[in-house]
Structure 1
Amino acid sequence: MTAGALAAAGVDVALAASAGDGIEASLIDLVAVFVIAGGVGVFVSKVGHFPYTIALLVAGFAVSVASSVAVGPNEILGEIVLTHDVILLVLLPPLLFEGAATTDVEEFESNLPIILLLAIVGLVASIAFVGVAAHWLFTGLGLVSGDEFTLLVSLLFATTVLPTDPVSVLALFEEIGVPERLSVLVEGESLINDGVAVVIFTTLYALLENERSLEYLLAPENFGAVLVELVYTSLGGAVVGFVAGYAVYSVMRDLDEHMTEIVLTIILAYGSFLLAEHYLHVSGVIATVVAGLLIGNRGAEYAMSAQTKLSVFNTWETGAFIVNTFIFVVIGAKTPVTDIVGNAELLVPAIGIVLVGRALAVYPLTTAANRFVRNDVDLRNQHVLVWGGLHGSIPIALVLGVQESVVPFAPQLRVLVFGVAAFSLIGQGLTMKPLIERLGIVTTTEEDELYQLLVGRARAVDAALEAAERLHDRGRIPDSVFEQFQTEYRVEKDDLNRAIGRLLAEHPDIRDRERLVGERQVLKREQSALKDAELSGVISTEIADALLEEVNIKLDRVQSGESTVTRDRDEEGYREFWRERASDHGLLDADLDGEDGDTDRGTGAE
């Protein structure tokens, strides 16, 4: 072997060793992250009454301070590099997908007008206010140079910092029993405004890259083109998410293999994001959200067995927990605490401006929306929406994508965004529970919890009976064992039904609420059946429209808290128009024609 060959081999060995050392160091840092998380978890479980994600962030801050004081900035966990692409491409899709999949699509649809108003109009209004106010205040007070912190850069700052991250708030909502509607409003707004913010950020950043001015953007011909691009990107992402989600749903519907179905959902979460963002150049965030909504609701209802539902949702819950654990620890550890303290004169007014911008979007828009929706968002809930608008992973991801060669103000921008995020997650996050309790929003009572316990166990028993029957049909368990299972679980089911019946009789408010929930789900099934009948040619479009109009009338009444059914078997709560048609042709006797029902209803078709 020649000397040159030996030297080349030595270089290869050295490079391999170096690469191995890098991987080993990265793994050590990764283990260190989860050691910190484990310690925080033990602390929270012992102490209690402290949000886990916020505790993780505080622990990360401690690491950041220790690193700066002891060994220098970013030396601890130095092998873990938090970048724009790592957050957006690796960490964000599973969080978006899990959040969307666990959102009740019916509740989401019923609150969609307010969600869209806050997530789109509210976000744009907040960006405009925060951008203009920050530029005027910072430059007017001489805190920054107007040449570096232009109005366009200030708008980029606003777009970067304003997307919401409700992880900590939603965990608190679940713990203390906040109404489902408020949780859906907070999470729904976050899911959509994340996607809209990314689209606006991309547009503003492209202007800065191409050295365009704000006047260029505001020119009528350019502004129209940008607006069309924003709409195309957003709607395109929704279409990609729906198509990808429906494709996976179609496969899962004819499949009963829970491990494979878990893999399919993982492919969908990342695949829809990458397909939209990097191949079709539309919103990957919105694509993943739509795909998650479809699989988590229609997919769970029609394409998953009980075993698959349990496996899929447990997997995603665990995955989201691990990703959030990593994000909060690393964000805390990478937060430049000393730089934040050194830039307090910028950060304090920035926090105030962001909070005012949030308030100016929520209060006027929800007040205006209350004129047009049946269920108002009252002032107490508006307070929670304002204070619960925490800022986390999306702002961090966006600001890490800002290059100093494009935006010379980028270092200070990172300090501002990290600082605002830290304040919102810790300051607002820790004060959410006292605020909610003071406002008297918590509605979960002991009776509610007991009802949930009984219903949850009843569902588990139903699933057990179904599984036992399936195993028996496949010859997996003998007749004698199957009979024992049936006897045991049926006795328990009878006891549960009696307990639930007595509880509902003693607490009619729970009964009425659950009746409306069930009625809404049944009416949604009616809608789906009518659409399927129309598509398959069983009924004409005219008949389908008439029947759907009637179902929609019922849904509107249910949404306003009015049931369309009664407990009296001899009286109908809603008289459907088909009865008149049938009576006109002599197909129904008068005493069977629901005469005692509400005869002014059901006039959706003549």
Structure 2
Amino acid sequence: MAQSGIPVALLADLLAVFIIAAAVGIFVAKIGDFPYTVALLIAGFAASVVGITIEIELSHDLILLVLLPPLLFEGAATTDLERLRRDRLPILLLAVVGLLVSVTLLGLAGASLFPGFDLLLALLFASMILPTDPVSVLALFEELGAPERLATLVEGESLINDGVGVVVFTALLGYVSGSEAGGSAALFTARGLGTLLLDIVLVSGGGLVVGLVGGLLAYSVMSSLDDHMTEIILTIILAYGAFLLAEHYAADVLGIHLSGVIATVTAGLFIGNRGAEYAMSPQTKVAVFNTWETAAFIVNTFIFLMIGVTTPLDDLVANAALIALAIPLVLAARAAVVYPLAAVANRVTEPTVPRRYQHVMVWGGLHASISIALVLGLPPSTPLRAQLRAMVFGVAAFSLVVQGLTMSNLLDRVGIVTRSDAEELFELLLGRARAVEAALDATEELHRSGDVPQDVYDDFVAEYERERAQLSEAIATLARENPVLRHERVLAGERQILQREKSATLDATRNGVVSGDVGDELVEELNVKLDRVRSGQRTVSEAEEEYEEFWRRRAAEYGLDVDGVDDRSSADGDA
């Protein structure tokens, strides 16, 4: 029995965590309009204050190796790659250039204002606290129902800049700990800065390659399967395997640690977009995404509650002056890069990033699990380690509680409409309608195979068809009363259809069904249609087309009367 003490204690602590989480969930459900993640953090603080002891150690390795990969993978897999591509310039500018500039600005300010901090130590703090946290951002924006484009901008930046932030932190820690000779003087030379930039490119690019190769391998296996349980296991292997291969095992082969964050994000983007579209059946897609949604919710719950429980409140009080100084400096460094870089992106690309989005991007750059994982990984010999730990936890707590709680008000103040009651109801009705259709298909299949008797089949079909009719009427009524909802839904459907059409055209070109020149013309035409859909214009049943379709033009040049087909069909129908 003595040997079972540790597992039982661990199980008891985990049970305590989820009992508190369940109580928080009930509280949030009762009062409404209160972010669940913020409530978890506050509950963790309260548990710490009243003396509830949870012996689970929220360590650097636990966060980075166990908890972070599923959150990154799920967040990336549910991100629309097409939207990410559309806003790639502002996202990359903020995630790479913005992070480097803001770390430099905060480091310079901190070296002058933080007592006892030299430039290297201030830069180290900046590299830990400035990467925005995808875990926090994804959770908060999903709860608030932020507009898709705003969510893409903030989430895309968060998913990418963590990889860059870890590289910068690792390089700076080498100088601080003495493993890199010369200190800040060596860092701020052409050679030192060049080495840092080269490390960022190699580590990030290597992580991208690892994630892409892993995603392709998983895709090739999944495309030949139709077993949702096996495919769920494959995605779990991919999420953790890509992270570990890049972050740890690549060093044995290449002598350099690659970015596990970027590897996992890349793998998630690939499987969540191309894999979901071409390698998964509808049933498998539902099973895989539901599994990852549940896993992300459980891990999120654990992280936010444990951050609250393990926050060193005594250290926060002792270093309150430092924390109070750090908070406005962090916000100022964030603002100093968001507004100028958004202006640069707006001069080059369309659509532009609206000013009101920029305000939210400054205030919505939350800092939590990544920053805490990095500060927990500081060696004991790091100068001013206790102060750094208190500052990171303090800024993270302010970020999650104050910025998190005021985000909804900020969205209202700047005129950004979150999901309305009509939109939420529309989503609910559409989701239920899909479920009913799937139930009818399953009932029909089971009846054909003899697994459902005729009388049960008749009852099921009658009930589901009645519900389908009611849902159709409710959806039609809601769409009539809210034309914008229907328009957006139609545009989303058109975009998916056009993307499928584009993929089929590319496959036909690769397989030699059509020549390269013809394929290029067809793809270019589809790109024009996709651009119109993205700008809010329909391409189906439009009264006036802005262009003549390529195939119609070539058919007319050849002498084929394709327009007359509709006239003849109508005449035959009238007859």
233 and 495 in structure 1: CA distance in 2 versus 1, 3 angstrom threshold: same
How far is 1:172 from its partner? 4.5
Q: Structure 1 residue 275 and structure 2 residue 250: aligned? A: no
Give the structure 1 partner of residue 36 of structure 2. 52
Match of 2:373 in 1: 397
Q: Once the 2 structures are TM-superposed, how far is the Cα of residue 383 of structure 1 from its aligned partner?
A: 1.3
Match of 1:76 in 2: 53
How far apart, CA to CA, are the structure 1 residues paired with 2:292 and 2:563?
55
Q: 2:549 aligns with which of 568, 573, 576?
A: 576
Q: What is residue 204 of structure 2 aligned with on the other side?
A: 234
- Superposed, which structure 2 residues align to 1:215-226 within 5 Å? 215-226=185-196
Once residues 498 and 66 of structure 1 are traced to their aligned partners in structure 2, the CA distance between those partners, rounded to angstroms, is 53
Counterparts in 2 of 1:81 and 1:503: CA distance versus 1, 3 Å: closer
- 1:558 counterpart SS class: helix
- Unpaired segments of 5 or more residues in structure 1? 1-15, 68-74, 595-606
Task: Please show how residues 406-421 of structure 1 align to structure 2 within 5 Å.
Answer: 407-421=382-396
Partner of 2:351: 375
Match 1:316 to one of 256, 274, 292: 292
Matched residues in 2 for 1:414 and 1:395: separation?
10
What's the counterpart of residue 540 of structure 2?
565
Change (3 A) 1:355 1:501: same
The match for 1:34 is 18
CA separation of 1:253/1:488 partners in 2, compared to 1, >3 Å: closer, same or farther? farther
Whether the aligned pair in 1 keeps the contact of 2:69 and 2:264 (CA below 8 Å) is yes
| Structure 2 partner of 1:92 | 68
> In structure 2, the residue corresponding to 1:476 is in which secondary structure?
coil
Which residue number in structure 1 is paired with residue 499 of structure 2? 524
Q: Identify the residue that residue 70 of structure 1 maps to in structure 2.
A: none
TM-score (norm: length of structure 1): 0.86
Matches within 5 A, 1:341-380: 341-380=317-356
Partner of 1:10: none
Residues 1:66 and 1:494: Cα distance change in structure 2 (over 3 Å): closer
* Pairwise CA distance, 1:325: 1.8
Letter of the 1:392 partner, please give it. A
Q: Partner residue of 2:307? A: 331
Aligned to 2:175: 207
**Alignment match, 1:585:** 558
The corresponding residue for 2:158 is 190
Superposed CA RMSD: 2.6
Taking a change above 3 Å as real, the CA distance of residues 197 and 473 of structure 1, as seen in their structure-2 partners, is: farther
Match of 2:90 in 1: 114
Distance in 2 (alpha carbons) for counterparts of 1:288 and 1:461: 34
SS at match of 1:408: coil
Match status 1:160 vs 2:128: yes
Max radius of gyration: which structure?
1
Deviation at 1:456, TM superposition (A): 1.8
- Does structure 1 retain, via aligned residues, the 8 Å contact 2:136–2:367? no
TM-score in terms of structure 2 length: 0.90
Whether contact under 8 Å (1:583, 1:593) holds in the other structure is: no
Q: Contact 1:164 / 1:194 at 8 angstroms: preserved in 2?
A: yes
The separation in 1 between residues aligned to 2:305 and 2:66, in whole angstroms, is 16
CA spacing shift, 1:470–1:298, aligned 2, 3 Å: farther
CA deviation vs aligned residue, 1:225-284 (integer Å, no higher than 9, x gap): 332221121121112112212222222222222222222221111111111111123111
Specify which of 385, 404, 411 is matched with residue 429 of structure 1: 404
Change (3 A) 1:447 1:190: same
Work out whether residues 156 and 205 of structure 1, in 8 Å CA contact, stay in contact via their aligned partners in 2.
yes
Return the alpha-carbon distance in structure 2 between the equivalents of residues 306 and 262 of structure 1. Answer: 14
Mapped pair 1:265 → 2:242: no
Instruction: Name the aligned partner's letter for residue 204 of structure 1.
Output: L
Q: 1:343 deviation in Å?
A: 1.0
Out of 435, 444, 447, the residue aligned to residue 422 of structure 2 is 447
Alpha-carbon distance, 1:403 to partner: 0.7
Partner of 1:24: 8
The change in CA–CA distance for 1:284 and 1:431 in structure 2 (over 3 A counts) is same
The worse-fitting range, judged by mean Cα deviation, of 272-281 and 213-222 is 213-222
Partners of 1:84 and 1:397 within 8 A in 2: yes
Aligned counterparts of 1:232 and 1:453: Cα–Cα separation in 2? 45
Match of residue 9 from structure 1:
none
Q: Contact 2:37/2:139 (CA < 8 Å) preserved in 1?
A: no
Q: CA deviation at 1:464?
A: 1.9
Shift of 1:505: 4.3
Residue type at the aligned position of 1:323: V
Query: Per-residue deviation at 1:473?
Result: 4.9
Amino acid at match of 2:325: P
1:6 alignment partner in structure 2: none
**8 Å Cα contact 1:64-1:336 kept in structure 2:** no
Which residue number in structure 1 is paired with residue 517 of structure 2? Answer: 542
Note closer, same or farther for the CA distance 1:22–1:487 as it changes in structure 2 (3 Å cut): closer
CA shift for structure 1 position 507: 3.7
The answer to whether residue 456 in structure 2 is matched with residue 456 in structure 1 is: no
Shift of 1:536: 1.5
| Aligned residue type for 1:224 | G
Q: Decide whether the 8 Å contact of 2:72 with 2:135 is kept in 1.
A: no
Give the conservation status (yes or no) of the 8 Å contact 2:72–2:134.
Answer: no
Native 8 Å contact 1:182 1:381 kept in 2? yes
Give the Cα–Cα distance (whole angstroms) in 2 for the partners of residues 434 and 574 of structure 1.
44
* Residues 99-138 of structure 1: pairs in structure 2 closer than 5 A: 99-138=75-114
Deviation string for 1:574-601 (max 9, x for gaps)? 421222222111123575799xxxxxxx
Conservation of the 8 A alpha-carbon contact between 1:583 and 1:590:
no
SS at match of 2:347: coil
Q: Distance in 1 between matches of 2:103 and 2:373?
A: 18
Deviation at 1:327, TM superposition (A): 1.4
The share of aligned pairs that are identical, in percent, is 58
- Asked whether the 8 Å contact 2:133–2:366 carries over to 1, the reply is yes
Work out the CA distance in 2 between the residues paired with 1:514 and 1:451.
Answer: 10
> 2:35·2:143 contact (CA, 8 Å) conserved in 1?
no
Give, in whole Å, the separation in 2 of the partners of 1:36 and 1:501: 42
Structure 1 distance, partners of 2:365, 2:323, is: 18
Distance in 2 (CA, whole Å) between partners of 1:174 and 1:98 is: 13
Q: 1:327/1:177 Cα in 2 relative to 1: closer, same or farther (>3 Å)?
A: closer
Measured after TM superposition, the shift of residue 88 of structure 1 is 0.4
Aligned with 2:348: secondary structure? coil
Q: What's the secondary structure of 2:98's corresponding residue? A: helix
| d(CA) in 1 for partners of 2:185, 2:556 | 68
In the TM superposition, what whole-angstrom CA distance separates every residue of 1:542-565 from its partner, at most 9, and x where no partner exists? 222222222222222222223333
Q: Distance in 2 between matches of 1:101 and 1:590?
A: 43
Letter in 1 for 2:401: I
* Corresponding residue of 2:527: 552
Aligned counterpart, 2:490: 515
